[in-house]
């Protein structure tokens, strides 16, 4: 074999090795990027924002089935329930923020079943006296301002369109939101007085006649502060309740465009 032929073969072998190295390097870089992205997503999910989807109509009309939210974990500080696994050695809250405020929409762990997340509105603070009288909310024996507004167009359990009485409720600290009144003299339209214990909160759904909340003491009851996961901040995605989120081919018709990135 001549010198020229040997040089040609050497160049071919070198080219093959370079291609293999480039291929191996490309796969390695891709894996590195994927791992870094997963780590960032895990840190985001663990310490900053908890993604949460709305499974029921208990917070209508504020939140609808098919809404996807970001819940800020740092707003209230961190507790044993702030992380993907239960860190039972954490007592109370660490790096505590201002704490839940009246009117906040908050995600919390159900006291009787800490493995279940609930989302409701903070109505009663520690030491408050809460009562419902003829569908009107009282806080510390004072009626909460409530104004009748236009009916809400909804649907019943059979999919038939109905008009639901809707009210604008304004809490003593000025937080204002809409509530629904499906039926007069509903099960919890008249209650006794609830006295909120220290370090606990009274939670209610905006859909007053269709919400399992703190009015049901044996089911939800008063929520300990350490059970709070975080405060709902923004709707980042919303799709009608008849569409699964993974059915992306239906998004052009099923997305609720007016609800995307809506602050709460």
Interval 44-102: pLDDT, tens? 566 668 889 999 999 999 999 999 999 998 889 888 787 766 666 666 677 777 889 99
Contact assessment for residue 89 and residue 144, using Cβ atoms and an 8 Å cutoff? no
Spell out the SS3 assignment of 81-123.
Answer: CCCCCCCCCCCCCECCCCCCCCCCEEEEEECCEEEEEEEEEEE
Sign for the pseudo-dihedral over CA of 57, 196, 104, 47: negative
Catalytic site residues? Answer: 58, 120
Q: Which of 54, 77, 211, 190 is nearest to 130 (CA)?
A: 190
**For residues 242 and 159, what is the distance between their CA atoms, to the nearest angstrom?**
11
Instruction: Estimate to the nearest angstrom the gap between the alpha carbon of 78 and the chain centroid.
Output: 16
∠ CA(143), CA(145), CA(148), 5° rounding? 120
**For residues 151 and 155, what is the distance between their CA atoms, to the nearest angstrom?**
12
∠ CA(107), CA(66), CA(145), 5° rounding? 55
Q: What is the pTM of this model?
A: 0.81
Domain ranges in the chain are 1-53, 54-263
Cross-strand pairs, 200? 224
CATH match for 54-263 among 3.90.1300.10, 3.40.190.80, 2.10.109.10, 3.40.50.510: 2.10.109.10
Residues 93-149 pLDDT 10s: 777 778 899 999 999 999 999 989 999 999 999 999 999 999 999 999 999 999 999
């Amino acid at each position: 074999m001549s010198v020229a032929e040997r040089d040609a073969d050497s160049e071919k072998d070198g080219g093959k090795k370079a291609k293999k190295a480039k291929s191996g390097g490309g796969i390695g870089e891709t894996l590195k990027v994927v791992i870094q992205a997963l780590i960032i997503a895990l840190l985001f999910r663990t310490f900053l924002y908890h993604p949460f989807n709305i499974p029921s109509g208990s917070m209508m009309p504020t939140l609808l089935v098919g809404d996807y939210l970001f819940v800020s974990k740092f707003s209230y500080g961190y507790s044993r329930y702030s992380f993907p696994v239960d860190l039972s050695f954490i007592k109370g809250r660490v790096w505590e923020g201002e704490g839940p405020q009246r009117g906040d929409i908050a995600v919390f762990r159900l006291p009787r079943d800490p493995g279940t997340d609930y989302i409701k509105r903070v109505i009663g603070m520690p030491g408050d006296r809460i009562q419902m009288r003829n569908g009107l909310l009282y806080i510390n024996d004072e009626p909460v301002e409530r104004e009748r507004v236009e009916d809400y167009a909804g649907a019943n359990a059979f999919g038939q369109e109905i008009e639901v009485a809707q009210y604008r409720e304004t809490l003593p600290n000025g937080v204002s939101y809409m509530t629904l009144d499906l039926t007069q003299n509903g099960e919890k339209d008249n209650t006794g007085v609830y006295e909120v214990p220290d370090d606990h909160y009274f939670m209610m759904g905006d859909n007053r006649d269709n919400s399992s909340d703190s009015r049901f003491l044996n089911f939800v009851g008063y929520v300990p502060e350490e059970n709070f996961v975080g405060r709902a901040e923004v709707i980042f995605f919303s799709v009608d309740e008849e569409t699964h989120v993974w059915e992306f081919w239906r998004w052009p018709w099923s997305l609720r465009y007016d609800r995307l990135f809506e602050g709460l």
